[in-house]
């Protein structure tokens, strides 16, 4: 980036080559691509930090706490994992998961039944997606899951997609790439993304209020004034776009608006609890589920990266309702849930606590996207340029890696490549 002194700088007139709105994973990926091509760009961020829905908090617990994304799926092919800078350790997550049945671990036969039910449900959804008409994942489930149905529904729906299965397109679910190998960053995934954006000329605390497209340029109305660019990459969440956080002139075409309406964000939050002394007797980064009897369930990620920090993961409709009730209600549920699974003495070991509430975040307005029935084609619609100057990017703008940081990163690179074609290649 240092090869061009003007790179990334906004000239006195405010005219640049490419404006990038949003300094999350997609925005940072796009900016790196544009910088490598030698084009002038500006990276504009409404909040006071970079990273978007990737945010590592080290102040609350004194150890890294990923308030947003934490998992690096498929690290062998994940562009973010491959770019991890020196000083940041990416390590494999332990394989498998644990299952609690009341206050004990599942026996071998019970675990086999549970995993078999998940496999059968997955296959049924994959098979349904091959049909002529899309349907919800709930409609595609086998009818004989019996006592395992609530657990399977939570694992595949809220935990995996942020939504209940009756809200998710079977085609969208089926087209998502396998995510059966995972890694973590010991310093936090948010710290990794922030490191990849380090040194970039980012305009923080500068919300974009409007975008006006003309024949040859786009004009951005920001709180700090007007910016004129030849192209713009927009990485806002689908929820923020639906809420018209940015006013487009002319308005977005109906094709794009319909796509956004079917790619709404789900709900997914972490309830972080400090449990010193490992009272749950779990290994580092153990992932624990319960044999659920209904939708009021959660998952546990224990002893994160070898620390005393654990997170209770709530998601889907129940998670959204609990989040709306407030942080105190979320924490009470999490501690009570852990007590039901590991005994009442767990409560004595609880230290600091904190809960995220992404649905209430005014910029994100939710977790990540999952397509409604017949909504999967909307992901490709959002890949199309609007009036040859406007390009969308973000986790929702990826057909197979939606809902992931890797998908957001790849979409940012793709949008930048598309914008750079206006110049026919590198400068």
Q: What is the pLDDT of residue 178?
A: 76
For the chain, which domains are there?
Answer: 15-50+197-264+371-423 (3.50.50.60), 57-69+78-185+266-360 (3.90.660.10)
| Average pLDDT, integer, range 81-106 | 96
Judged against a pLDDT cut of 60, whether residue 52 lies above it is answered with yes
**Average pLDDT score over residue span 265-281:** 97
Which residue is associated with the tokens 């029935």?
373
Percent of the chain with pLDDT over 70: 96
CA distances from 287 to 182, 207, 222 (A): 12, 38, 43
Average pLDDT over residues 45-49: 98
Percent of the chain scored above 90 by pLDDT? 93
- pLDDT tier for residue 14 given thresholds of 50, 70 and 90: low
Q: Is the pTM of this model over 0.85?
A: yes
Q: Between 377 and 180, where is the model more confident?
A: 377
Task: Give residue-wise pLDDT tens across range 172-229.
Answer: 999 997 778 999 999 999 999 999 999 999 999 999 999 999 989 999 999 999 999 9
Region 303-325 average pLDDT: 98
Please, which pLDDT band fits residue 7 given cuts at 50, 70 and 90? very low
Model confidence at 13: pLDDT above 50:
no
Instruction: Please determine, for residue 382, whether its predicted confidence score (pLDDT) is greater than 90.
Output: yes
Q: What is the pLDDT of residue 425?
A: 53
Distances (CA, A) of 131 to 161, 167, 213, 269, 294: 22, 18, 40, 34, 30
Helices 189-196 and 25-36, interaxial angle, to 10°?
A: 30
In DSSP terms, 211 is beta-bridged to 220, 248
Round the average pLDDT of the chain to a whole number and report it. 95
Report the pLDDT value the prediction gives residue 79, as an integer from 0 to 100.
Answer: 95
The DSSP-derived string for 172-189 is HHHHSPP---EEEETT-H
pLDDT per residue as tens digits for the range 120-130: 999 999 999 99
388 contacts 366 by C-beta, under 8 angstroms: no
Residue 11 has pLDDT above 80, yes or no: no
- Interacting residues of 134 by C-beta distance below 8 A, sequence separation 6+: 169, 170, 171, 373, 374, 376
Q: 338-365: per-residue pLDDT in tens?
A: 999 999 999 999 999 999 999 999 999 9
How far apart (Å, rounded) are the C-alpha atoms in residues 143 and 90? 41
The answer to whether 359 and 368 are in contact (CB under 8 A) is no
Is the pLDDT assigned to residue 1 strictly greater than 90?
no
Give the whole-angstrom CA distance, residue 368 versus residue 347.
Answer: 32
């Amino acid at each position: 980036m240092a090869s061009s002194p003007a790179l990334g700088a906004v000239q006195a007139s405010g005219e640049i080559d490419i404006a990038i709105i949003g300094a999350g994973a997609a925005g940072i990926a796009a900016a790196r691509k544009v910088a490598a091509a030698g084009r002038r760009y500006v990276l504009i961020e409404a909040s006071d930090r970079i990273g978007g829905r990737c945010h590592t908090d080290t102040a609350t617990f004194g150890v890294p706490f990923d308030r947003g994304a934490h998992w690096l799926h498929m690290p062998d092919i994940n562009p973010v994992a491959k770019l991890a800078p020196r000083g940041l350790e990416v390590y494999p997550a332990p394989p498998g998961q644990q299952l609690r049945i009341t206050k004990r671990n599942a026996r071998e036969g019970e675990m086999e039944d549970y995993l078999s039910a998940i496999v059968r449900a997955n296959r049924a959804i994959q098979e349904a997606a091959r049909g002529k008409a899309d349907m919800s994942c709930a409609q595609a489930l086998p009818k004989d899951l019996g006592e395992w149905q609530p657990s399977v529904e939570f694992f595949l729906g809220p935990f995996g997609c942020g939504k209940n299965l009756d809200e998710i397109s079977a085609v969208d679910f089926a087209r998502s790439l396998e995510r059966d190998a995972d890694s973590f960053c010991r310093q936090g995934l948010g710290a990794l993304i922030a490191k990849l954006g380090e040194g970039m000329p980012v305009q923080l605390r500068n919300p974009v209020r409007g975008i006006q497209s003309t024949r040859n340029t786009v004009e951005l109305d920001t709180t700090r004034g007007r910016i004129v660019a030849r192209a713009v990459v927009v990485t806002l969440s689908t929820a923020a776009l639906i809420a018209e956080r940015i006013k487009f002139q002319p308005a977005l075409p109906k094709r794009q608006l319909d796509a956004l309406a079917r790619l709404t964000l789900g709900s997914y939050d972490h309830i972080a609890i400090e449990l010193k002394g490992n009272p749950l007797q779990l290994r580092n980064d153990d992932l624990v589920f319960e044999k659920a009897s209904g939708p009021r369930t959660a998952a546990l990620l224990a002893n994160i990266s070898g620390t005393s920090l654990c997170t209770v993961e709530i998601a889907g409709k129940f998670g959204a309702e609990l989040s709306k009730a407030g942080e105190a209600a979320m924490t009470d549920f999490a501690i009570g849930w852990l007590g039901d699974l590991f005994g009442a003495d767990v409560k004595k070991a609880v230290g600091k606590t904190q809960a995220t509430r992404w649905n209430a975040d005014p910029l994100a307005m939710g977790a990540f996207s999952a397509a409604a029935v017949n909504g999967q084609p909307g992901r490709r619609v959002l890949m199309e340029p609007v009036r040859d100057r406007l390009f969308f990017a973000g986790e929702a703008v990826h057909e197979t890696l939606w809902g992931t940081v890797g998908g957001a990163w790849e979409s940012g690179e793709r949008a930048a490549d598309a914008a750079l074609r206006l110049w026919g290649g590198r400068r």
